[in-house]
């Protein structure tokens, strides 16, 4: 049996536009561009930088593209297409969503954020579902099933991911652009890619490749 590689993208910079800034001009411009109403708009600093000035934690919010790139990298490779990778997305606002194994991620950013807007509004979409349990509850349950829990952090031990991953593993990665993971996610070992800081989607791709070398294409 090959096993399952589960990613937990935590504290991700994915949320609907906060109500307090929905009337801002840049938000309205985004809505016109993507054909959405303000209550359906996904916060995106690339289009709403002026609106986001002054909101708390602005440097950790408004980057849905991080989630998009990450999912494309981990779900569209050999392991992902074989249904051996699943993903939990935990958002800045505290919601959690589950991306089923084998899910095909839209290449189009507009289509992707359309789906994310539905999920963020509590709608159950095909293959991406809201989850009521907390990240900690989910990860603790995985540990009881025998999963190894590894976290990726620049301050972690410098080691190749495949040297610490188990056949069934949970990998915790921050889904934001700046700062460190704040919560406690029951991580057993923190690992760094050479002590350097890399984009979230690059880390995801390296982890998947290492897991594939060890368990999918050994030797």
pLDDT of the residue at 1 = 64
How does pLDDT run across 32-88, given as a tens digit for each residue? 988 889 889 999 999 999 999 989 999 999 999 999 999 999 999 999 999 999 999
pLDDT over 90 at 98, yes or no: yes
pLDDT of the residue at 70 = 99
Residue 145 Cα distances to 58, 95, 142, 149, 151, angstroms: 37, 24, 5, 11, 18
Q: How far is Cα 202 from Cα 90, in angstroms, rounded to an integer?
A: 19
Q: How far is Cα 30 from Cα 68, in angstroms, rounded to an integer?
A: 18
170 contacts: CB under 8 Å, gap ≥ 6:
6, 7, 8, 139, 142, 143, 147, 148, 149, 150
Look-up of token digits 């991953």: 165
| Residue with the larger pLDDT of the pair 126 and 11 | 11
pLDDT of the residue at 172 = 99
- Domains in the chain: ranges and CATH: 5-14+62-216 (3.40.1280.10), 19-60 (no CATH)
Structure tokens at 195: 């002590």
Confidence of residue 2 (pLDDT cuts 50, 70, 90): confident
pTM of the shown model: 0.96
pLDDT over 90 at 188, yes or no: yes
């Amino acid at each position: 049996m090959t096993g399952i590689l589960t990613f937990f993208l935590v504290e991700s910079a994915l949320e609907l536009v906060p109500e307090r800034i929905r009337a801002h001009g840049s938000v309205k411009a985004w809505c016109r561009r993507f054909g959405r109403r303000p209550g359906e708009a996904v916060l995106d600093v690339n289009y709403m930088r002026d609106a986001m000035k002054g909101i708390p934690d602005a440097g950790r919010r408004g980057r849905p593209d991080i989630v998009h790139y990450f999912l494309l990298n981990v779900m569209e490779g050999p392991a992902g297409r074989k249904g051996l990778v699943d993903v939990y997305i935990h958002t800045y606002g505290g919601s959690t969503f589950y991306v089923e194994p084998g899910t095909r991620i839209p290449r189009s950013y507009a289509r992707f954020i359309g789906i994310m807007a539905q999920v963020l509004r509590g709608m159950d979409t095909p293959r991406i579902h809201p989850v009521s349990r907390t990240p900690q509850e989910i990860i603790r349950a995985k540990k009881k099933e025998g999963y190894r829990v590894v976290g990726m952090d620049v301050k972690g031990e410098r080691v190749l991911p495949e040297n610490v991953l188990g056949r069934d593993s949970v990998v915790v990665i921050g889904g934001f652009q700046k700062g460190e993971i704040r919560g406690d996610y029951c991580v057993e070992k923190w690992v760094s890619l050479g002590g350097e800081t890399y984009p979230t989607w690059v880390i995801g791709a390296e982890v998947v490749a290492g897991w594939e070398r060890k368990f999918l294409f050994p030797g």
